[in-house]
Amino acid sequence: MSARYRVESRALGAAGVRTARVESLLEAAQTLLPGVFLVLVTWLGARFAADGRISVGQLVAFYAYAAFLVAPLRQLTEAIDKMTRGHVSARRVVAMLRERGDLPDPPQPARLPVGELADTASGVRITPGLLTAIAATAPGDAARIADRLGRYAEGATLDGVPLSAAALSEVRARILVADNEAQLFTGRLRSDLDPDGRGALPQALAAACATDIVAALPDGAETVMPDRGRSFSGGQQQRLRLARALIADPDVLILVEPTNAVDAYTEARIAGRLKAARAGRTTVICTSSPLLLSHADLVCFVEHGRAVAVGSHTGMLRDQPGYARLVLREEKP
């Protein structure tokens, strides 16, 4: 692993030097070529004026024309620079699209049934149509379970059929995993949140308590957001991502810590609205927040990577000391 890292690091360094060399040449050309052109034209004009072939007034006019042509020359070199960058970027995109994923489709994909989603590694089972919360003593365990349930890693089944037996496109259409690694995109906010034009934006924003965020924008949902929405705070981005996931309305929605960046008051409002927004749909929330756990139909307590208890939030607080310590943030005795 370390040898491969050294090789790749050296290759990246060499590529960076080559790129910097080309960029420096283009930057120099943007200044040098217009300057050389202006000096050459002025020198020729001065020669003609000294020989009496043109008048001083014509020399001044000639210089003005030459100075005017400097801008198009600079634009030409800038265009070459942008074309070079675009060509390199296009090659990267094409190379990425040609890559094969780590989870290829089987030769003869099976159709996924409707039923119980299960993670064989942890023993977590998701009942269809309910809001199930996964509370894990180690947050990484919950994230890994979410990856398997969404087939970002192998090991989950749907009504006994392995997700790996189905086409990846069908799994993605049926099961959506929304975590905090997801990003907002640069561009019109409506196109980012509702790319398919489903028309459920107001309801999703209300469920995610994000209506006020959009209302404060200059053009509302039509506002063009620069720089991938980084002008929003962490909690605002989280609420907008939640709204986007609700608009997608998948058969199974898996949310990983969807409210850990918002204040307790907003989190309580989201917890109450989320269950109503996903009524009758299978929803999984990986969280240790008591506000979200109290609204779940079922809570699955995961310890050391395995499901050790399933029940209601209040029942688990009463019967499972480990769960109570996790939710109430108590220290082990």
Residue boundaries of the structural domains of the chain:
2-98, 117-328
How far is 101 from 90, CA to CA, in rounded Å?
Answer: 20
Token representation of residue 194: 């509702």
Of residues 137 and 68, more confidence is placed in 137
Token representation of residue 152: 């970002």
316, 301 Cβ separation under 8 angstroms: yes
With residue 66 as reference, give the H or E element that holds it. helix 56-98
Q: What is the average pLDDT across 287-303? A: 96
In the predicted structure, residue 331 carries a pLDDT above the cut 70:
no
Q: What is the average pLDDT across 162-176? A: 95
Q: Which of 9-23, 92-106, 112-126 has the lowest mean pLDDT?
A: 9-23
In the predicted structure, residue 1 carries a pLDDT above the cut 70:
no
Task: Kindly indicate the confidence band of residue 278, based on its pLDDT and cuts at 50, 70 and 90.
Answer: very high
Instruction: Give one word for 61, left, alpha or beta, with left for phi > 0 and alpha for psi -120 to 50.
Output: alpha
Q: What is the average pLDDT across 295-311? A: 96
In the predicted structure, residue 305 carries a pLDDT above the cut 90:
yes
How far is 47 from 58, CA to CA, in rounded Å?
Answer: 12
pLDDT of residue 71: 73
59, 48 Cβ separation under 8 angstroms: yes
In the predicted structure, residue 129 carries a pLDDT above the cut 70:
yes
Cα 291–chain centre separation: 26
How far is 147 from 111, CA to CA, in rounded Å?
Answer: 20
pLDDT of residue 330: 59
pLDDT of residue 36: 77
Nearest to 295 by CA among 322, 320, 313: 313
Angstrom CA distances, 213 to 59, 78, 198, stand at: 61, 38, 20
What is the overall mean pLDDT for the chain?
A: 88
Q: What is the average pLDDT across 237-254? A: 96
Of residues 88 and 215, more confidence is placed in 215
Cβ-based neighbours of 206, under 8 Å, separated by 6 or more:
273
Token pair 């981005």 in the structure block, residue = 237
Q: What are phi and psi of 127, to 5 degrees?
A: -75, 130
Three-state SS at 199? coil
**Count of CB atoms situated within 10 Å of the CB of 156:** 26
Q: What is the average pLDDT across 288-298? A: 95
- Dihedral in degrees, nearest 10, Cα atoms 304, 103, 255, 217: 140
Cα 51–chain centre separation: 68
Of residues 332 and 267, more confidence is placed in 267
Q: Which of 31-40, 101-110, 133-142, 247-256 has the lowest mean pLDDT?
A: 31-40
Task: Kindly indicate the confidence band of residue 2, based on its pLDDT and cuts at 50, 70 and 90.
Answer: low
Token representation of residue 290: 């008591």
Q: What share of the chain is helix, strand, coil (3-state, %, to 5)?
A: 55, 15, 30
Task: Determine whether domain 117-328 maps to CATH 3.40.50.300.
Answer: yes
pLDDT of residue 214: 95
As a whole-number percent, the residues of the chain with pLDDT over 70 amount to 96
Q: Which of 78-82, 189-193, 213-217 has the lowest mean pLDDT?
A: 78-82
Angstrom CA distances, 54 to 36, 59, 111, stand at: 22, 7, 85
Q: Which of 77-86, 109-118, 204-213, 215-224 has the lowest mean pLDDT?
A: 77-86
201, 243 Cβ separation under 8 angstroms: yes
Token representation of residue 315: 């029942």
Nearest to 316 by CA among 332, 303, 305, 333: 303
Three-state SS at 181? coil
